[in-house]
């Protein structure tokens, strides 16, 4: 199986390799509305993915 070059790989309990991802969401604290939902590689820390999330959130506020 081919894995994407932009994600990390994890090894399961049976020794199988699989692509590792994590779901992230950005919430408006006043209204509790989900503003951004995205899937990132598990090797990306929150400090790396935060600028992209904030940029997408500000773009999505145009539609609210």
Q: State what percent of residues in the chain have pLDDT above 70.
A: 69
Q: How many domains does the chain have?
A: 1
Inside any domain, residue 16: yes
Query: What pLDDT, on the 0 to 100 scale, is given for residue 1?
Result: 44
Inside any domain, residue 55: yes
Measure Cα distances from 51 to 5, 11, 28, 56 in Å.
22, 29, 16, 9
Inside any domain, residue 2: no
Q: What is the pTM of this model?
A: 0.56
Rg of the chain, C-alpha, whole Å: 15
Inside any domain, residue 41: yes
**Residue 9's pLDDT band (cuts 50, 70, 90):** low
Query: What pLDDT, on the 0 to 100 scale, is given for residue 7?
Result: 52
**What is the residue range of 19's domain?**
8-63
Phi, psi of 49 (to 5 degrees): -85, -15
């Amino acid at each position: 199986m081919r894995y994407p070059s932009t994600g990390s790989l994890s090894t399961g309990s049976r020794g199988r390799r699989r692509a590792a991802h994590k779901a992230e969401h950005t919430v408006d604290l006043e209204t509790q509305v989900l503003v951004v939902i995205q899937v990132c590689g598990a090797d990306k820390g929150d400090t790396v993915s935060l600028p992209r999330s904030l940029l997408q959130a500000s773009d999505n506020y145009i539609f609210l």
